[in-house]
Amino acid sequence: MGVLSNKITRDQLKPGDHIYSWRQAYLYSHHGIYVGEEKVIHFTQGQKETGKGTKSSQYTFSCRPPQISVDDPCPRCGYHSKRDGVIRSCLDCFLSGGDLYRFEYAVDKVYFILQPRGGTCTLASSDPPESVLHRAFYLLENGFGGYNLFKNNCEDFAIYCKTELLVQTSTGRSGQAASVMAAASTIGFLPLDFVPLVLSGVRATSIPALGYLGCRMLYTYCENRLASDIGVRHDVSKVPVEKLIARTRIEPEEEEEEVEEEEEEASNEIVEKNHFISLHEYI
């Protein structure tokens, strides 16, 4: 574990490791679970995410390596860039020409804060490798729901496999998403940081004022990142993978039943109304 980098070599890999690789000049990273024999289980939107949808969804590009054609599967593992959901591919397809990094668990707060951005470590502890592999393979067969850049992405998938922790609110577990939200919150509160300077009569463009604002923004950013980490949040709980899948299957059925009940009630109201009108005309 390095303070400046989590980069590792292939011979350091162990089944159950949470690995990632940076994409698009370190714009974002793609995450997955290494399962041994040069294979990785990861969560992706596939080729359909490129060039379509919102601007944010366009950042989640395909994980295929540059030498693999969009229309042809990988000759080694059969990975196809148009496949989506939870998939298993070879390590080369996962890395897509990038370097290999290992996500760190059970780090202390100092180490966490020293990381310039999220998506590299967490204060949460990892479960044993056999439990991690069980969840990864179970989700490979049953899916992990719909992909969402901020609420249910590849990092969320890998963290769940490692910890079994599930956020009970609408926000996800991703450190990358938390970094974006922390930065936005820091910028949003920037005008309030000028208030003490104005009250003290210090010019906002002076060196002391700029130094104060810089330290204040850095503190706010780190504080927000730390508060969003799954290892310190209070809205998380352990959810067994079997229960998670059962829940995702029940919810669509409940929604369908609710729609059917509403349609039946509407139909009954129409019948009663027509019956009343017919009775009124008869009288």
Choose the catalytic residue: 18, 31, 42, 80: 42
Of 18, 30, 31, 80, the catalytic one is 30
- Catalytic residue flag (residue 30): yes
Annotate 87-102 with b (16+ C-beta within 10 A) or e (fewer): bbbbbbbbbbebebbb
Establish whether 154 is a catalytic residue: yes
Q: Where are the beta strands (DSSP E) in 67-130?
A: 85-90, 101-102
User: Is position 42 annotated as part of the catalytic site?
Assistant: yes
Tokens 């080694």 -> residue: 76
Residue 6: partners with Cβ closer than 8 Å, 6 or more residues away: 101, 102, 103, 104, 120, 121
**CA distance linking residue 152 with residue 254, whole number of Å:** 21
Distance CA 248, CA 243 (A): 9
- Helix, strand, coil percentages in the chain from 3-state DSSP, rounded to 5: 45, 15, 40
Among candidate residues 77, 121, 154, 222, the one labeled active-site is 154
What is the spatial distance between Cα 18 and Cα 162, in angstroms, rounded to a whole number? 7
The H-or-E segment that residue 225 falls in is helix 207-228
The residues that are catalytic are 30, 42, 154
